[in-house]
């Protein structure tokens, strides 16, 4: 894969790389950061074919393929686009990919995570923290008066 196709920041670190020329289900990989990306590239078959199809679906390991939500998908059908980057936000954990190819000579998929990313603070947490702080203040104030 051309490493210069997409500029690499010092925060992006490779997690795993998959290369091949057949459809497959990959081994599991873990992204511990909430921002990660999938860089992909494929080379069409040298033999003339009616179809070119390249798809990658990323699933959480616990759920498996059947009846689960995928966290990311890439799908190219006969298009001129042969490479790209797909970003995943606010998902971390262990995943696997299902790669489906027709009419491709080979492909490379690189999963990278942004080690500088931090999870967003959930806005729903503000109210319980406020109530807890208020309750704590009232208890301390009552204890100081007695």
- The DSSP-derived string for 47-70 is S--S--EEEEEEEETTT-STT---
Dist CA 127 CA 138 (whole Å): 17
Answer for the pair 86, 96: CB distance below 8 angstroms, yes or no: no
Residue 14 · residue 29 · CB < 8 Å: no
**Looking at residue 110, what is its pLDDT?**
97
The whole-number pLDDT of residue 100 equals: 93
> Which pLDDT belongs to residue 3?
41
pLDDT, residue 29, reads 95
Domain layout of the chain by residue ranges: 12-120
Q: Which residues of 49-61 are buried (b: 16+ CB within 10 A; e: fewer)?
A: eeebbbbbbbbbe
pLDDT at residue number 5:
39
Q: Which CATH architecture has domain 12-120?
A: Sandwich (2.60)
Identify the pLDDT of residue 86: 93
Positions of the chain with pLDDT under 70: 1-9, 48-50, 63-68, 79, 118-125, 146
pLDDT for 57: 92
- Number of H helices and E strands in the chain, helices first, is 1, 9
Give the residue from 67, 77, 81, 68 showing the smallest Cα distance to 100: 77
pLDDT digits (tens, 9 = 90+) for 47-81: 766 688 899 999 998 765 555 677 888 888 876 78
Output phi, psi for 3, to 5 deg.
Answer: -75, -20
């Amino acid at each position: 894969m051309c490493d210069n196709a997409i500029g690499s920041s010092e925060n992006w670190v490779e997690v795993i790389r998959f290369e091949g020329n057949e459809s497959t289900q990959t081994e599991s990989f873990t992204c511990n950061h909430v921002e990660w990306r999938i860089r992909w590239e494929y080379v069409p078959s040298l033999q003339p074919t009616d179809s070119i199809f390249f798809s990658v679906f990323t699933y959480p390991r616990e759920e498996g393929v059947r009846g689960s939500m995928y966290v990311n998908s890439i799908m190219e059908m006969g298009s001129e686009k042969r490479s790209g980057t797909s970003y995943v936000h606010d998902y971390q954990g262990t995943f696997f990919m299902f790669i489906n190819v027709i009419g491709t000579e080979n492909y490379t998929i690189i999963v990278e995570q942004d080690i500088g990313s931090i999870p967003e603070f959930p806005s729903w947490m503000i109210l319980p923290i406020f109530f807890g702080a208020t309750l704590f203040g009232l208890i301390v104030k009552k204890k100081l008066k007695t």
